[in-house]
Amino acid sequence: MTTRNVRSGVEDRWHKADGSRSAKYGIAARWRARYVDGEGTEREKVFSVKKDAQTFLTDRMSAVHTGSHLDPAAGKVSVERMHMAWVTAQGHIAKKTAQSRRTAWTCHVRPRWAAVAVADVRTTAVRSWIAKMAADGVGVPTIENSFHVLRAVMATAVDDRRILVNPCDVVKLPKRAHTDRGYLTHGQVLALSAAVTRDPLVVRFLAYTGLRWGEMAALRVQDFDMLRRRVSISRSVTEVDGGLDWRTPKTWERRSVPFPAALTDVN
């Protein structure tokens, strides 16, 4: 950004350069503060008091020189419009993640924020929105997903220089209530597998390897090393919108997992 040759000043709208009255004498505000922003657009605002015009001009020119000046009209874009711009740049994410974000937007973010201008989103209002969801019994994971969508949309507005700071950055979310995990004993695993009527080996395989369902469903014959009794995990599959989405594992790392000799007995 260059600030050379920037035209600025406070002008008397009621008088001409020679001191005579102009056609605007006595009409509306007298003083006009005029400046050129960092993008080269000339802007102005009128005031009744010269001191107010000068203060405004000083603030604006300081913002231009420091690079913190924003087009006042840029922040008037709605959150919904900004969300559309953000979504178009999310082609790299998994389909399941995209589906989760769509649900969060439709059910919780859009009803509250769609029509609000990005410049009008306040931190206090975001906190109140989160508190209301919690009071309405919305689960913490859903609150997290909804908040992260709004924060990402507002981050896009910052990137586009529509707002200076993201009002979501300093907001804290409710903490998750962690419950004790329950682990099945060997006898319980065998009892559970005996109780199912279809593919009981699946129950035992998942129990003794710790694989996620999508990781197991994506396994191929070539992934098994029967001599070393290990299985290689390199991909995962999830059903999304009636189709299958094939991805790398959730941790984005390939790994090799051992399985007990008892699982080699298909009987």
Taking only the tens place, the pLDDT of each residue in 99-141 is 889 999 999 999 999 999 999 999 999 999 999 999 999 999 9
At 167, list the tokens: 């009002």
**Does some domain include residue 173?**
no
**Does some domain include residue 176?**
no
Contact call for residues 95 and 245 (beta carbons, < 8 A): yes
Same structural domain, 17 and 92: no
Q: Are strands 31-36 and 9-12 parallel, antiparallel or unpaired?
A: antiparallel
pLDDT of residue 221: 92
pLDDT of residue 70: 61
Distance CA 202, CA 128 (A): 46
Q: How far is CA 106 from CA 19, 49, 166, 177, in A?
A: 61, 48, 21, 26
Above 50 in pLDDT, residue 4?
Answer: no
Give the three-class secondary structure for 233: strand
Averaged confidence pLDDT in the chain: 85
| Confidence at 147, pLDDT banded by 50, 70, 90 | very high
Domain residue limits at 213:
186-264
Inter-helix orientation angle 79-87/140-159, to 10°:
90
Greater model confidence, 162 or 148: 148
Above 70 in pLDDT, residue 89?
Answer: yes
Same structural domain, 82 and 151: yes
CATH number of 260's domain: 1.10.443.10
**Does some domain include residue 24?**
yes
Contact call for residues 51 and 43 (beta carbons, < 8 A): no
Greater model confidence, 238 or 136: 136
**Does some domain include residue 62?**
yes
Same structural domain, 155 and 201: no
E strands within 37-186? 42-47
**pTM, to two decimals:** 0.60
Burial level of 117, CB count in 10 A (0-12/13-18/19+)?
Answer: middle
pLDDT of residue 232: 92
176-230 pLDDT per residue, tens: 877 778 888 999 999 999 999 888 999 999 999 989 888 898 899 999 999 899 9
Above 80 in pLDDT, residue 240?
Answer: no
At 50, list the tokens: 């010269």
